[in-house]
Amino acid sequence: MADISANFLGIKSPNPFWLASAPPTDKKINVLRAFEAGWGGVVWKTLGSQVKNVSSRYSAVNYNGSRIMGFNNIELISDRPLDINLREIEECIRLFPDRAMIVSLMADNTRESWHELIAKVEDTGAHGFELNFGCPHGMTERGMGAAVGQDPEIARMVVEWVMEKATIPVITKLTPNVHSVVPTGKAAVEAGTNALSLINTIQSVTGVDLDTFVPNPYVAGKSVFGGYCGPAVKPIALKFLATISQDPTTRQVPISGIGGISTWKDAVEFMLLGATTLQVCTAAMKHGFRIVEDMCEGLNNWMDEKGFATINDFIGLSVPTLTHWEDLDINYHHVAHINQDKCIHCGLCYIGCEDTSHQAINLSYGKPYNTYSIKEEECVGCNLCQLICPVEQCITMVEQRKGDEYLNWKDFQRLGLALNDH
């Protein structure tokens, strides 16, 4: 059995799965249920000046009958009184001393407000802070949340204020509503943050009601841009995470990965790209806390299979394989191959390649079943067909190198090699 426990800046948790700062962590009753279910830690719902929410608050994107491929919210930070939050945080820590308790903060934009909030929260015995520089709605209009995270200089200043006062580890949570998360990440690290977490939600409009013509979520005939999360944002989150893991400054601090994590496999991908702990919100909101069981078991089985004893053995392992386009090997070539024994004759590979790729699949008519085969000389190896094919391992890509030696685009140009002629 592998050891799946995490040690993040000295904050220990029996597994690396934390609940992200959001409704699942906004009061004692939820957090205790989460700990009972087995979550390794929580990031308490963001505290700051008390706010008021509207309804409705959520909307979603469904895909081919699957509900909540993407999730969207227009909620603000905690709308409960600060003293109740603090009392409940303290109780949770007392009842589950082995779990990580991070408290998310978003104070008003003055040094005094931050210092005051930090002092109050530290009194609860919390293990760390997460600075919410990411909320894309409601708070930005007040100069907080993403408004801080989008400007590296403001972020630097706030992190400096926080570091003056905080005696426990500080994680800065980054907003993805920027062209690159690196400048703000760098500023935060330079200002002394102990760790980074990402991503917060992405500004979005999930849809427009075709009867009322009002986008959703619907609030009395109006809507606003919301924050998008859930499985749909995972690829974007991974990309931002990778850039933080690549940058020489930001890679110096541990990272807590967030954005669309629903299964142990998603979690492992985040870890391979540099995350030490994983935060989950939407998946828990959709399925309840019980999903953590398979996350732990799946991670454990995978680590055993791969021979990893602790999570530190593979965190960041995939980062070096992300390179620059100009460094890719142009001599690497592969072509599609259809296993006729597995093929169910759905024709999907054919129509994809024929209509939109390289007319590299041959259709031989049959009633009712056509037969499909690859014209290897036409196949460019894009693997569209393999992605489309509904049968696992039916289409495989077979390596057919164009040359033995590694050849990148720069060399290709330098050698004056021939481009495509059709």
Partner 1 sequence: MSIQNNRLAPEAYERNFSDVHPPFDKKEAALVEANRCLFCYDAPCMKSCPTSIDVPKFIKQITTDNLKGSAHTILQSNIFGGGCSRVCPVEKLCEGSCVYNLMHEAPIPIAKLQRYATERAIAEKWQLFERKPSTGKKVAIVGAGPAGLSCAHALSAQGIDVTVFEKEARGGGLMTYGIAAYKVTPRFCQDEVDFITSLGGITIEYNRELGRDMSIPQLQDGFDAVFLGIGVGLARQLGIPGEHLDGVVDAIEFIYNLRSTSYSQVAVGDRVAVIGLGMTAIDAATQAKRLGATEVTIVYRRTQEEMPCTQVELDLAMLDGCRVLWLAAPKEVLGADGNVTGLVCSEMELGAADSSGRRSPVETSRTFALDVDMVIKAAGQMPFQSLVDAAGLENKGGRIVQANGATSVARVFAGGDCVNGGREVVDAVQAGKDGAAAILDYLRATEITSPDTAMEPSAFNNLAPALPDLS
Ligand X SMILES: Cc1cc2nc3c(=O)[nH]c(=O)nc-3n(C[C@H](O)[C@H](O)[C@H](O)COP(=O)(O)O)c2cc1C
Q: Which residues bind ligand SF4 (CB under 6 A)?
A: 336, 338, 343-349, 352-353, 357-358, 360-361, 372, 374, 379-385, 388-389, 391, 394-395
Q: Which residues of 157-188 are buried (b: 16+ CB within 10 A; e: fewer)?
A: bbbbbbeebbebbbbbbbbbbbeebbbbbbbb
Active site residue 349: no
Instruction: Figure out which of the listed residues 15, 30, 59, 132 binds ligand X, where binding follows CB under 6 A.
Output: 132
Partner from partner 1, ligand X, ligand SF4, none binding residue 13, C-beta < 5-8 Å depending on class? none
Taking CB under 6 A as the criterion, which residues in 172-201 touch ligand X? 173, 200-201
Question: Contacts with partner 1 in 385-404 (CB under 8 A)?
Answer: 390-391
User: 179 or 367, CB closer to partner 1?
Assistant: 367
The single residue among 42, 61, 135, 275 that binds ligand X, judged by CB under 6 A, is 135
Which of the following is catalytic: 92, 135, 343, 385? 135
**Can you name the residues that pair with 203 across neighbouring β-strands?**
227
The least distance separating ligand X from the CB of residue 42, rounded to whole angstroms, comes to 11
Could you count the other beta carbons within 10 Å of the beta carbon of residue 213? Answer: 8
For ligand X, the closer CB: 285 or 389:
285
Query: Minimum distance from CB of 199 to ligand X (Å)?
Result: 6
By CB under 8 A, tell whether 69 contacts partner 1.
no
Cβ neighbour number for residue 321 with a 10 Å cutoff: 8
Considering only CA atoms, which of 192, 31, 193 is closest in space to residue 100? 31
Q: Nearer to ligand X by C-beta: 132 or 245?
A: 132
Residue labelled with tokens 């820590």: 93
> Given candidates 20, 31, 89, 189, which one binds ligand X under the rule CB under 6 A?
20
Task: Determine the 3-state secondary structure of 396 from DSSP.
Answer: strand
Q: How long is the chain?
A: 422
7 belongs to the binding site for partner 1 (CB under 8 A): no
Residue 23's nearest CA partner among 328, 227, 188, 194 is 227
Contact with partner 1 (CB under 8 A) among 38, 125, 316, 347: 347
Give first-to-last CA distance, the chain, whole Å: 56
Angle, nearest 10°, between helix axes 182-190 and 152-165?
A: 30
Query: Closest Cα to residue 390, out of 328, 347, 326?
Result: 347
Given ligand SF4, ligand X, partner 1, none, residue 173, with its beta carbon under 5 to 8 Å by kind, binds ligand X
User: Exposed, middle or buried: residue 290 (CB in 10 Å: 0-12, 13-18, 19+)?
Assistant: exposed
Residue 338's binding partner out of ligand SF4, partner 1, ligand X, none, with CB under 5 to 8 Å set by partner kind? ligand SF4
282 scored as a contact of ligand X (CB under 6 A): yes
Asked if residue 217 has a cis previous peptide bond (ω within 30° of 0), the answer is yes
Which 352-371 residues touch partner 1, going by CB under 8 A? 363, 367-370
Closest CA to 254 of 280, 279, 234, 274: 274
For residue 228, which amino acid is it? Y
Catalytic residue set: 135
Residues in contact with partner 1 by the rule CB under 8 A: 64-65, 344-348, 350-351, 363, 367-370, 390-391
Q: Which parts of this chain interact with ligand X (CB under 6 A)?
A: 20-23, 45-46, 71, 73, 75, 77, 104, 132, 134-135, 173, 200-201, 229-230, 233, 258-261, 280-283
